[in-house]
Amino acid sequence: MDKILRCEKIRKVFIVKDFLGVNKRTTVALNDISINIEKGLNTGIVGESGSGKTTLARTMLLLIKPDAGSVYYREKEITHLSDNNLRDFRSKVRIIFQNPYKSLNPRLTIERTIKEALPSCDSHKQKVEDILAQVGIPKTYRTKYPHQLSGGERQRIAIARALAGIPECVIADEPTGNLDATTEVHILRLLEKLKEKFNLTYVFISHNLKIVSDICNKIAVMYKGRIVEEGDACDVSKNPLHPYTKALWNPDIAQPIDEKQTKYSEGCAFIDSCTSRKERCFCENPEIIEKEKNHSVACFLYE
């Protein structure tokens, strides 16, 4: 399969200070993450708040540099390239940020917003109007500012900006997270239509396993900085293996999920909420293994 992006053993640690800037604690946002993004296949990265999914999305684009591990674009390592040398890569792999209220510059018109994302040779009015038409925004909106648009319209502009220059891969970080249910459906349908028209490959970042299972070919489930389950979307949704994935589908089968750092730092991160934990789970962290064809899990229940 043709790999667009590949992350290999990515690790990212943040140092957090208190409000006085004195006491420090470390948070492991990404812990030995490996994942492949294959051309033509939508990949969903699912997890609750604090799972590390947004950090992974930004690390894929090298908006955040990993502390360890490597990022590959078309099998060429790009981890340590400068921002100037990453320009071509970032024109081919774009991101739709979670909050269009924050990601759009309030001082720029819609036309200027789109133009800034276009190659300089394409930054003319007709090109902007063509892109706006693709996302269902009238050309008269060119002169408007973000504050004059609804939430759904702002998200369409964010999508239009990501499409500028026709990338091959788009990372969508919770693209419907701040929208009402009706607008959410419209945006998802728009993304599906654009995928078909431009042969796009999507990486969907979401907390909603149901939405991701409907629109993705592959799913990776994250919990506290680790991928705990990965496989074909149909398998992960119909036959979830990891206790955390099962809890995402049916919260009634598990204790409430605690997103705080587990006190058993050497053991499995899910141990505080797992109803199937074993003694070794307190002191060992399971490696992810392939349990079935194209379906892997990090859990001692399947060894």
Encode the chain (303 residues) as per-residue pLDDT tens digits. 799 999 999 999 998 777 776 767 788 899 999 999 999 999 999 998 889 999 999 999 999 999 999 999 999 999 999 988 998 999 999 999 888 788 899 999 999 999 888 876 555 778 888 999 999 999 999 999 999 999 899 999 999 999 988 899 999 999 888 788 888 899 999 999 999 999 999 999 998 888 899 999 999 999 999 999 999 999 999 999 999 999 888 755 444 444 444 444 678 989 888 888 888 999 999 999 999 889 999 999 998
Distance CA 255, CA 149 (A): 42
In a domain? residue 123: yes
Q: What is d(CA 28, CA 238) in angstroms, rounded to the nearest whole number? A: 30
What is d(CA 153, CA 282) in angstroms, rounded to the nearest whole number? 48
The answer to the question of residue 269 being in a domain is: no
> Which strand (E) or helix (H) includes residue 246?
helix 243-249
Asked whether residue 227 is domain-assigned, the answer is yes
Per the domain annotation, does 168 fall within a domain?
A: yes
Q: What pLDDT sits at residue 265?
A: 61
Backbone angles phi, psi at 11, to 5 degrees: -135, 135
Pull the structure tokens for residue 267.
């053991």
Q: Is residue 85 one of the residues assigned to a domain? A: yes
* Cα radius of gyration (the chain): 20
Complete edge-to-edge strand list for the sheet that includes strand 201-206: 93-96, 169-173, 201-206, 43-46, 218-223, 226-232, 295-297, 289-292
Instruction: State how many domains the chain has.
Output: 1
Q: Could you list the residue range(s) of the whole structural domain that residue 193 is in?
A: 3-243
| pLDDT score at 8 | 97
- Contact indicator for 273, 289 with CB cutoff of 8 Å: no
The model's pTM is 0.89
Q: Does 301 map to a domain?
A: no
Apex 18 CA angle, 16 and 23, nearest 5: 80
Q: Which domain CATH number covers 40? A: 3.40.50.300
Q: Tell me, what's the pLDDT at 206? A: 92
Q: Is residue 19 part of a domain?
A: yes
- 261 found inside a domain: no
